[in-house]
Chains A and B, each alone.
Chain A
Amino acid sequence: MLRLLDGNAAASYGAKLARTQIVSATPITPASEIAEHLIRFIEAGELRAEFVVPEGEHSTMVICMGASMTGARVFTATASQGLAYMHEPLHFAAGGRLPIVMAVPNRSIALPWCNYPDHQIVVAQRDTGWIQLHCENAQEVLDTCIQAFRIAEDPRVLLPVMVCFDGWTVSLHHEGVDIPPQDEVDAYLPAYTSQHCVLDPDKPKTVGAGADALLYMQYRRQMEEAMDAARAVIKTTDEEFRVRFGRSYGGMLDQYRCEDAAVVLVGMGALAEAARAAADELRLEGAPVGVARIRSYRPFPHAELRALGERVEAIAVVDRSSSPGLGGPLASEVRAVLSGLPRSPQVYGFVAGLGGHEISVAHLRKALSSVSIATGPASEDQWLW
């Protein structure tokens, strides 16, 4: 069924089709509507779930953790300041291996106050142990929310998943979105049965015991292994989604015209659409360029980027965040995974689109062109505005 939906509504349809059982979310721009849509579904009897009203995002995540510890399927949403406030329990949820799914419409972080999209605060959650999938439009948001539960609940993974998409640009932008039939989603995503973490008086368990150094190392190592296992799970989940629903998003790294490209633009989120338009224009002018959109920021697409790096001459990484004192975090990570290749391409970093600052086709053409004709190594990341 095709409906005109914005990204927030798409996320709530995804959570509804996934038969979420507990929803809790604190209102925050631009994520507030996600919970409101879900409450309407609950009130209309279309979703058998409870909404728990929290007072702040720290408690929101902890409510989600408690519900997940009973074996319920749990969904939440937040953004920006709320995500920052939630930082401590994000570590708890991942360390507790609780398969919570959270929609995150990306928004900048204060100070100064700014409501508009960038990746500053979501990138800052990279070390929490959450899987981060970045979507570029409302359809991908809906589909990825369904995929996210399958990934999170896979016994090889058991990690929480953030479904990120740019605030406003995607969260409040209406587009035609296909809503898959419930029975098809049920067949794709079976009911969740928690085996590893259930608070049940008949089978008493300690959830979140203390650990000595060795035990702590073992648990953290298991999280790394789960992230590694998630790479394959993310790919097969997306591929099986294509088989059933006819749509897929490139698994870990969504590549466009990269097969014969000499220069590739790497970025995350909605800027990919403008980047593809820029690549098309440059192709018409004879420049062999492509676009690789990082869909899975955690786990990071090591293998895909290395395979790409082995055959291209230059990579332009466009960051929608900056790590003051370093430069673009995405650019530094791309450089890190490409180091040690027999023939590493030059990696040029660009910082753009902070606080919702426009990223136009012209900006991205400029980025792609400047590296096409580059002669020397990249010194420091350039600001593109």
Chain B
Amino acid sequence: MEVTELKILSELPKEEYFMCGHNECPACGAALVVRLALKVLGRNTIVVLPPNAILASAVRLSSFMVPTASAPMASAAALASGIVRGRRVLGNDRATVVVFGGDASTVDMGFQALSAAAARGDDFLYICYDNESNVNTGDQASSTTPLGAVTPTTPHGKAHVPKDMAIIMAEHGIPYVATASVAMLGDYVQKVQKAALIEGPKYIHVHTVCPCAWKIPDERMLEVGRLAVETRAFPLFEVLRGTLRLTYIPATCLPVDAYLGAQGRFKEISPLGRAKFQEWVNDKWERLYRRHTAGTTSGGVTSE
């Protein structure tokens, strides 16, 4: 079930809609998430940005070649709704309205507005680049900060497991939800392509490595992202019209130690904490795998 990454990536259009000159860090996963999504979505796209590093860097300048609108932190999805409905009432052609929100403006402050926009059925794509903390303000914890991670606001390590946002969004009954990883770009690009063709609310939750917050060297950004997937700490799946399918099943299951040990933010984690982390990973994978196989046997697993 290996994703044919290079083949897909090489087929991406040469056009760039998120240009160089942005102020992201050299190994910023978020910049890659935005750039590749816009290559897939093309020029007929309107971007909505809650406050985040990409927006904060744009003083007098913009790296976007498509229209962008900034939203309050708490309601990026509401802005997307307004744009979609306004264009529809004016009889404008369909454009893809895409939100790029970090985890803090998606799973925390923006959650209410996103949940409501999903429940309203408006036609937009929400891409959450989850770097598992408020990196723009100094790496403070968010609801997706993992168990045991040390941040300025969890100095003894996060005490609770992260919010499972993709599953929560899938439970809204929206047509398409997926997880993706910045380290598995072929899989990510395919999911964006799939989402773009579906009408209604779509949600993609992208595990997005932040070398600064996660305390890893820049050159290990993709490697650490890959370790999250291979250890099943971040499983890749999609939920298409209610049917869940794992889109990547690691051939051998690495222990989470391989992932945790690569990052400075887990250096305080105790052996007990590691065991709890592994238990959380196992439980989550088991639940997903059960749904995956149930979907397979009922014949519900299909691509578009």
- Please state if B74 and A67 are interface contacts (CB–CB under 8 Å): no
In Å, the complex CA distance between A26 and B82 comes to 14
In Å, the complex CA distance between A49 and B66 comes to 27
**Stretch from B89-97, B194-202, B206-214, B266-274 contacting the other chain:** B89-97
Asked if B75 is an interface residue, CB under 8 A from chain A, the answer is yes
In Å, the complex CA distance between A179 and B34 comes to 51
- Please state if B113 and A208 are interface contacts (CB–CB under 8 Å): no
**Stretch from B1-9, B41-49, B145-153, B176-184 contacting the other chain:** B41-49
Asked if A206 is an interface residue, CB under 8 A from chain B, the answer is yes
Asked if A72 is an interface residue, CB under 8 A from chain B, the answer is yes
Asked if B104 is an interface residue, CB under 8 A from chain A, the answer is no
| Chain B residues with CB below 8 A from A55, complex form | 112-113, 115-116, 119
In Å, the complex CA distance between A60 and B80 comes to 12
| Chain B residues with CB below 8 A from A48, complex form | 89
Q: Which single member of B46, B72, B80, B86 contacts A89 (CB below 8 Å)?
A: B72
- Please state if A59 and B78 are interface contacts (CB–CB under 8 Å): yes
In Å, the complex CA distance between A55 and B118 comes to 11
Main secondary structure of the interface of A (DSSP, over half): mixed
Q: Tell me whether A66 and B81 are in contact in the complex, defined as CB-CB below 8 angstroms, given that A49-B89, A207-B69 are known contacts.
A: yes
Q: Tell me whether A215 and B60 are in contact in the complex, defined as CB-CB below 8 angstroms, given that A50-B89, A199-B46 are known contacts.
A: yes
Residue interface mask B88-116, A partner, CB < 8 A = 1: 11101001000000000000000011011
Q: Which single member of A58, A89, A205 contacts B67 (CB below 8 Å)?
A: A205
In Å, the complex CA distance between A186 and B292 comes to 58
Asked if A63 is an interface residue, CB under 8 A from chain B, the answer is yes
Given contacts A66-B80, A199-B83, A206-B58, 16 further A-B contacts (CB under 8 A): A21-B90, A49-B89, A52-B120, A59-B117, A63-B78, A63-B85, A66-B78, A66-B84, A66-B85, A69-B83, A71-B86, A72-B90, A201-B43, A204-B65, A205-B67, A207-B70
Asked if A22 is an interface residue, CB under 8 A from chain B, the answer is yes
In Å, the complex CA distance between A173 and B86 comes to 33
| Chain B residues with CB below 8 A from A52, complex form | 81-82, 85, 120
Residue interface mask A181-221, B partner, CB < 8 A = 1: 00000000000000000011101111111111001000000
Q: Tell me whether A66 and B62 are in contact in the complex, defined as CB-CB below 8 angstroms, given that A58-B74, A89-B75 are known contacts.
A: no
- Please state if A59 and B113 are interface contacts (CB–CB under 8 Å): yes
* Number of chain B interface residues as a range: 35 or more
Which of chain A's residues has its CB closest to B95's CB?
Answer: A201
In Å, the complex CA distance between A242 and B163 comes to 59
| Chain A residues with CB below 8 A from B84, complex form | 66
- Please state if B67 and A199 are interface contacts (CB–CB under 8 Å): yes
In Å, the complex CA distance between A340 and B43 comes to 58
- Please state if B116 and A59 are interface contacts (CB–CB under 8 Å): yes
Q: Which single member of A54, A205, A212, A215 contacts B116 (CB below 8 Å)?
A: A54
B residues adjacent to A (C-beta < 8 A) = 43-46, 48, 55-60, 62, 64-72, 74-75, 77-90, 92, 95, 112-113, 115-117, 119-120
- Please state if B69 and A199 are interface contacts (CB–CB under 8 Å): yes
Q: Tell me whether A211 and B60 are in contact in the complex, defined as CB-CB below 8 angstroms, given that A21-B89, A22-B82 are known contacts.
A: yes
Interchain nearest-CB distance for A247 vs B (Å) = 30
Asked if A70 is an interface residue, CB under 8 A from chain B, the answer is yes
Interface residues of A in 45-92 (CB under 8 A from B): 48-50, 52-56, 58-60, 62-72, 74, 88-89, 92
Q: Tell me whether A209 and B59 are in contact in the complex, defined as CB-CB below 8 angstroms, given that A70-B83, A70-B92 are known contacts.
A: yes
In Å, the complex CA distance between A49 and B78 comes to 18
- Please state if B59 and A62 are interface contacts (CB–CB under 8 Å): no
| Chain A residues with CB below 8 A from B56, complex form | 210
Interchain nearest-CB distance for B82 vs A (Å) = 2
| Chain A residues with CB below 8 A from B92, complex form | 70, 200
5 contacts between A and B (CB under 8 A): A55-B116, A59-B116, A63-B82, A70-B82, A206-B64
**Which of A24, A63, A92 counts the most B-chain CB atoms under 10 A from its CB?**
A63
In Å, the complex CA distance between A211 and B58 comes to 8
In Å, the complex CA distance between A10 and B298 comes to 57
Q: Which single member of A22, A49, A59, A204 contacts B64 (CB below 8 Å)?
A: A204
* Number of chain A interface residues as a range: 35 or more
Q: Tell me whether A206 and B68 are in contact in the complex, defined as CB-CB below 8 angstroms, given that A21-B90, A71-B90, A72-B90 are known contacts.
A: yes
In Å, the complex CA distance between A21 and B87 comes to 10
- Please state if A62 and B113 are interface contacts (CB–CB under 8 Å): yes
Q: Which single member of A67, A92, A212 contacts B83 (CB below 8 Å)?
A: A67
- Please state if B60 and A212 are interface contacts (CB–CB under 8 Å): yes
In Å, the complex CA distance between A172 and B168 comes to 41
- Please state if B112 and A66 are interface contacts (CB–CB under 8 Å): no
- Please state if A70 and B70 are interface contacts (CB–CB under 8 Å): no
In Å, the complex CA distance between A215 and B89 comes to 34
| Chain B residues with CB below 8 A from A92, complex form | 72
| Chain B residues with CB below 8 A from A56, complex form | 112-113, 116
Q: Which single member of B45, B82, B113 contacts A65 (CB below 8 Å)?
A: B82
Interchain nearest-CB distance for A194 vs B (Å) = 10
**Which of A49, A92, A199, A209 counts the most B-chain CB atoms under 10 A from its CB?**
A199
Q: Tell me whether A63 and B79 are in contact in the complex, defined as CB-CB below 8 angstroms, given that A22-B85, A88-B74, A89-B72 are known contacts.
A: yes
| Chain B residues with CB below 8 A from A67, complex form | 82-83, 85-86, 89
